[in-house]
Amino acid sequence: MGKLGLLFPGQGAQSIGMGLDFPNHEALFNTAQQATGLDILSAITTGERLNETLYTQLSVFLTSILALEIVKELKPTYQGLTGFSLGEYSGLYASNVLTLHDAIKLIHERSQLMQAETLKTQGFMAAVLGLSASDVDATLAKVTTGKVVCANYNSPIQTVISGEEQAFVEAEQLLKAAGAKRVIKLAVSGAFHSPLMKPAGESLLNYLSQMTLQNPAVPVYLNTTAQPLSLDTLKSEMSKQVYSSVRFQQTIEQMALDGFTHFLEIGPGQVLGPLVKKINPELETFSFGKYSELDNLKGWLLTHGFIQ
């Protein structure tokens, strides 16, 4: 039997109605509303404001936690986990680094800081398809009209770039000249995981300084390092994560080197499982984001020996 890792999705995985088929969803959403004042249930049910960072981050986190609680009832054996950007907070909760209350309050603070920064700067994000990450990095170094960086290393042929709005046209032209098949501008409010978000990350560190974090029950691989977290540096890395690249490809490659053979994506969207297969087709994946998928989840875990 191989090793099982858990994956948690980030911002962008949201959809209207997500999580509403899980038992006890109203109680969890009410808990979040009492802590933050945000009506998450209304946002998910109607779709109004769901794509605003302030609502998106908590909505995705809470939906992931609803799915996680069902997974935990099956008592699977797993040896590590990671999350994509916001999803890292789901991982920190799942590994007992953060309590539920602290996670909700921290995500609320993070989303407020990030949303505020998008109002100050004109930024963009775009997906680059068909070009290696190293070629994307080398090409972006040639952009002269503004700062643009690799925000998300998703797979060997998919990278997301992020930066100043005025630099998009030049970046797009250079990337296509270098061999990119497509450069697709994303419908996001700002340049996340770029230097434009550094003030938000620094403010988040001030908030984190007041919090108590616990040692993880299982290793949590971080976006910034692609390595298991060290509690001594965790707050610093959580701050840097806001304005640094999400090294998802490197994380999955490191986890594979560490013996992980199977990955269970927990939460909405079913985005990360397919990315894992693009990174390494030999890795086995399953995505669980709807209560109706429970029987299939049980079968997958039983087949691969992760539950009795």
pLDDT tens digit sequence for 5-21 = 999 999 989 999 999 99
**Distance separating alpha carbons of residues 32 and 264, to the nearest angstrom:** 25
Mean pLDDT in residue range 144-164:
96
The CB density around residue 88, as the number of other CB atoms within 10 Å, is: 24
User: What pLDDT is attached to residue 121?
Assistant: 87
pTM of the predicted model, to two decimals?
0.96
User: What pLDDT is attached to residue 283?
Assistant: 98
pLDDT band at residue 107, thresholds of 50, 70 and 90?
very high
Contacting residues for 35 by C-beta, under 8 A, at least 6 apart: 101, 104, 105, 108
Closest CA to 69 of 90, 89, 83, 38: 90
Residue 86: DSSP 8-state? T
Mean pLDDT in residue range 216-230:
98
User: What pLDDT is attached to residue 87?
Assistant: 98
pLDDT band at residue 169, thresholds of 50, 70 and 90?
very high
Q: List Cβ<8 Å contacts ≥24 apart for 229-236.
A: 229/97, 231/97, 234/97, 235/205, 235/208, 235/209, 235/211, 236/205
Residue 197 reports pLDDT greater than 80 = yes
**Distance separating alpha carbons of residues 78 and 231, to the nearest angstrom:** 20
| C-beta separation of 64 from 11 below 8 A | no
Residue 1 reports pLDDT greater than 80 = no
pLDDT band at residue 188, thresholds of 50, 70 and 90?
confident
Residue 234 reports pLDDT greater than 80 = yes
* Residues designated catalytic: 85, 193
> Coil, strand, or helix at residue 277?
helix
User: What pLDDT is attached to residue 189?
Assistant: 81
| C-beta separation of 34 from 28 below 8 A | no
The dihedral region occupied by 253, where left means phi > 0, alpha psi between -120 and 50, and beta the remainder, is: alpha
> Which residues of the chain are in CATH 3.40.366.10 domains?
3-119+195-303
Residue 277 reports pLDDT greater than 80 = yes
User: What pLDDT is attached to residue 122?
Assistant: 87
pLDDT digits (tens, 9 = 90+) for 118-151: 989 889 999 999 999 999 999 999 999 999 999 9
Residue 33 reports pLDDT greater than 90 = yes
Mean pLDDT in residue range 149-175:
96
Residue 274: DSSP 8-state? H
pLDDT band at residue 63, thresholds of 50, 70 and 90?
very high
User: What pLDDT is attached to residue 187?
Assistant: 80
pLDDT band at residue 55, thresholds of 50, 70 and 90?
very high
pLDDT band at residue 248, thresholds of 50, 70 and 90?
very high
Instruction: Choose the CATH number for 122-185 among 3.30.70.250, 3.40.190.10, 3.40.50.300, 1.10.3470.10.
Output: 3.30.70.250
Mean pLDDT in residue range 270-287:
97
> Which residues of the chain are in CATH 3.30.70.250 domains?
122-185
Kindly report the average pLDDT of the chain as a whole number: 96
Mean pLDDT in residue range 277-299:
97
Counting every residue written for the chain, the total comes to 308
User: Which CATH superfamily hosts domain 3-119+195-303?
Assistant: Malonyl-Coenzyme A Acyl Carrier Protein, domain 2 (3.40.366.10)
Strands 158-164 and 123-129: antiparallel
Per-residue CA distances from 50 to 38, 59, 97 (Å)? 11, 8, 27
Per-residue CA distances from 74 to 68, 220, 306 (Å)? 10, 21, 10
Dihedral Cα 299, 3, 104, 29, nearest 10 deg? 0
Number of alpha carbons in the 13 Å side-chain half-sphere of residue 39: 7
| C-beta separation of 185 from 168 below 8 A | yes
The H or E element that residue 278 is part of is helix 272-279
Closest CA to 239 of 95, 110, 103: 110
Residue 66 reports pLDDT greater than 90 = yes
